[in-house]
Amino acid sequence: MRVLYVEDDKGLREPSARSFGRNYPDDTLYTAVNYREAADFLMTYDYDVIFSDFSYRGIHSAISGGVDLYQLAVRTQPTIDFYFISATNISTIMAHIRGLPEYATRPPAGIIQKPDMLITGMRLHLKNLAARPGASKISPEFPQP
């Protein structure tokens, strides 16, 4: 599985990436620190899932960098699963994305509250994949961090 993880905080991004590598050695994790890096990755590779912070440092607009990335991801890779990972209140995130055309056609796969982070998000994603119609009846095993 090809995973893109977007987090501007190095203190969260690097330990999460190391933990991901230990827990999911057969999957490939790409990390980006902001919208620009993540957008470049999206234009270069196809991904199975994106885990993105809701807002990035240095982005001062009514719409966060995470929402901008969500819109780009859904437009360029319509089948991608997108998860927000954020300390921002869930209702605030939903208020930003509910009116978007992308939300109507492909809502985010989930919103994970920090500090649960990447490993919890990946577990949720695997659980969601297993629950889809036509998925294997064997439940995936979730390694401990």
pLDDT digits (tens, 9 = 90+) for 85-111: 887 777 888 887 877 877 777 778 777
What mean pLDDT comes out for the span 37-51?
A: 93
Question: Which CATH superfamily, name and number, covers 2-131?
Answer: Response regulator (3.40.50.2300)
Q: What are phi and psi of 79, to 5 degrees?
A: -95, 5
Q: Are strands 49-53 and 81-86 parallel, antiparallel or unpaired?
A: parallel
Spatial neighbors of 61 by CB under 8 A, at least 6 apart, are none
- Residue 139 binned pLDDT confidence (cut-offs 50, 70, 90): very low
Half-sphere exposure of 55 (CA within 13 A, CB side): 15
Give the predicted TM-score (pTM) of the model. Answer: 0.76
E strand or H helix that includes residue 112 = strand 110-113
* In the block, residue with structure tokens 């090809």: 2
Range among 58-62, 116-120, 121-125, 131-135 rated most confident: 121-125
